[in-house]
Chains A and B, each alone.
Chain A
Amino acid sequence: MPIGVSSHNATDQLDSVLAILKDVSPNVDNYFVSNLKVSPTATNTLHEWPVYNTARPTSVTMVIEGADATIQDLTTPSRSNNRIGIVDEVVQVTSTDMGISTLTGEDQMSFQKREGLQRLKAKMEWLTINGVLAAGSSGVAAQMAGIERCISTLITARASGTSFTETEFNDIVQDSWDTVGAQYVGDLLLCPVVIKRRVATGFDGNNTRNISAAEKKLDSEIRVIDSQVGQTVKIIPHKDVRITAGSLAVMLLREELYAHSFLAKEGEPKWVPLARTGHAEKGMYQTQFTVVSHAQRASVRRTGYSSSL
C-alpha cells in the first residue's frame, strides 16, 4: 500500500548525531604527576643527589675516668642516582582530515593535541611508579627507576595470596618507624583499589553490609586511617600499582621525600612542532625527567597480597 514518504524509504535525510562526547578514559587519574614536588633541574643524564643515614646505637661502652679520647671512623653522605628518561607522544593529522567536520565540531588537531597531552601525563605517571632502571646506550633508551624500584631497604615479599590485614598494615608502618626519624615515617599508602576496598570494609572482605536503596556509599574519597604506631596514613588507590595475582604491591611512602626532576632547558613537558611532511601536519609532546628519591629507606614495599577482596 503506498504511504507517500516515510522515514523508511526517504533517501535525503541528515544523520542524527549528538555533539556530546563523554570521555571516560582512565588516563586522567595521575596523582604523582599532579602532586609530586619538582626538585632543581638535572644537568646530566645520570642525576645524583646525596643521602646520609646513621643507625641508632644498640649498645654503648662508657668511658673510663681520665681516659684519653678515642676516635672512630666517621661516615660522609653518599650518592644516590637515577637516569633521565625521554618520553614523547606524537600527534599527526592529515591535511585531508583537518578539512573534515568532526562529530564534536572540534578541530581534529586540537582534539588530538589535548588527548596527546593527557596520554603523555599518564605515561609519566606510570613511569613514576613502575619505571625500571636502565643505563641505555647508543640505540637503546635509558630508563629511570620508578618509586617501586627506588625502594630497596624495606622490602618484604609475602607468600602469594596473603590477605592484607590490619596487622600487615600496622607492621608496614612500624617498619618505617623503626628505620627513620619519627618526622619521616611513611604517611601515604599507595595501593591498588582492591586494597583500599579491604580497608574501607574494616580489613575484612567478607564484611557484608545491608544497604537500603536510598542510601549511598562513599565511592570517591581519600581515606585517612590511624595506625597503632600513631601515624595517620592517607590511602591513595592507584591504577598503575601492580595488581598481578601473586605479586600485588603495596607501598608506604613519605611523599615529600620524592620529587620529579626535569633535564635543564629541554626537560619540562612541551609541544614541539615537527616539520610538515607531505600531506600531514605533525608534532609531539616531549619530556625528559626522572624520579628523585631523597631517602628511600623511609618507604616500605610489600608484595604478594591477594588480588581479590
Chain B
Amino acid sequence: MNTITVNNETYEVATDEARMLTVHLVDLFKKLGIPQDLTTEDMTPATWRFIERIIEVWRHFFPDEYMDWVAGMKYELEVERPIKAHIKGGTYTPISYPMRVHNLIQVFLPKLRLQDKGFIKKFLRRVPEFKNTNYRI
C-alpha cells in the first residue's frame, strides 16, 4: 500500500480511479453551485443533473454491481405479491437504493430526504432501475 507523509502524518494514497472519481464529482458539485443543505423542496435541473451523474458514475465504475442490481430487481418484480395483497397488507416498496448510491448521494446532499414520496416519483422517471414495484406509485 502506498503512503504519503505530510506534516509527520502518514496517509494512504488513494487509487487513481478513486481520486479521479472524487475530483470529478466534487468539481461538478462546485461548478453547478449546489448548496450542501439542499432539501427535496429545492431540487433544480442542475441538482437532478448531478444526481444523474452519480448514477452514471456508479454504472460505469461498478459494472458488476450494476448488473447484479438489474438482475436482482428483475427477480424482485417477478416475485412481487399481487396488488390486492399489497392493499390488504397495507404496505409496498416503491423504491430501493443500492447502498453505495444511497451513501454517495448522502455525502454530497445530507439533507436530501431520499424517502420523500415526491422526490421518489421524480427520481424514478430518471432512474427506473430502482423502482421496486410493478404498480403505479
Question: In the complex, are the beta carbons of A256 and B93 less than 8 A apart?
Answer: no
Interface size class of A (residues with CB under 8 A): 35 or more
Q: Given A114-B12, A232-B116, verify A35-B106 contact (CB < 8 Å).
A: yes
Which residues in chain B, 45-71, are within 8 Å of chain A measured between CB atoms? 68-69, 71
| Binary contact track A103-117/B, C-beta < 8 Å → 1, others 0 | 011110110011000
- The answer on a CB contact under 8 Å between A166 and B98 is no
A221-B99, A232-B120 as given contacts; A216 in contact with B68, CB under 8 Å? yes
Q: Does A277 contact B (CB under 8 A)?
A: no
Cβ of A106 and Cβ of B98 under 8 Å apart? no
Q: Counting chain B CB atoms within 10 Å of each CB, which of A35, A203, A211, A225 scores highest? A: A225
With both chains docked as a complex, state the minimum distance between the C-beta of B68 and any C-beta of chain A, in angstroms. Answer: 5
Interface of A: prevailing SS: mixed
| Contact in complex: B111, A226 (CB < 8 Å) | no
* Complex interface: chain B residues within 8 A of A187 (CB): 113, 115
Listed in ascending order, the chain A residues whose CB lies under 8 Å from chain B are 19, 34-35, 37, 104-107, 109-110, 113-114, 166-167, 169-170, 187-188, 199, 202-203, 209, 211, 214-228, 232-234, 256
**With contacts A187-B113, A222-B102 known, what are 15 further pairs, Cβ within 8 A?**
A19-B1, A34-B106, A114-B12, A166-B89, A166-B90, A218-B72, A221-B99, A222-B96, A222-B97, A223-B93, A223-B132, A224-B94, A224-B95, A226-B94, A232-B116
Which residues on B are within 8 Å of A, measured CB to CB? 1, 3, 10-12, 68-69, 71-76, 79, 81, 85, 89-100, 102-103, 106-107, 110-111, 113-117, 120, 132, 137
Give 10 nearest A-B pairs by CB, closest first.
A228-B90, A234-B115, A110-B10, A218-B72, A221-B96, A166-B89, A220-B99, A222-B102, A222-B97, A215-B75
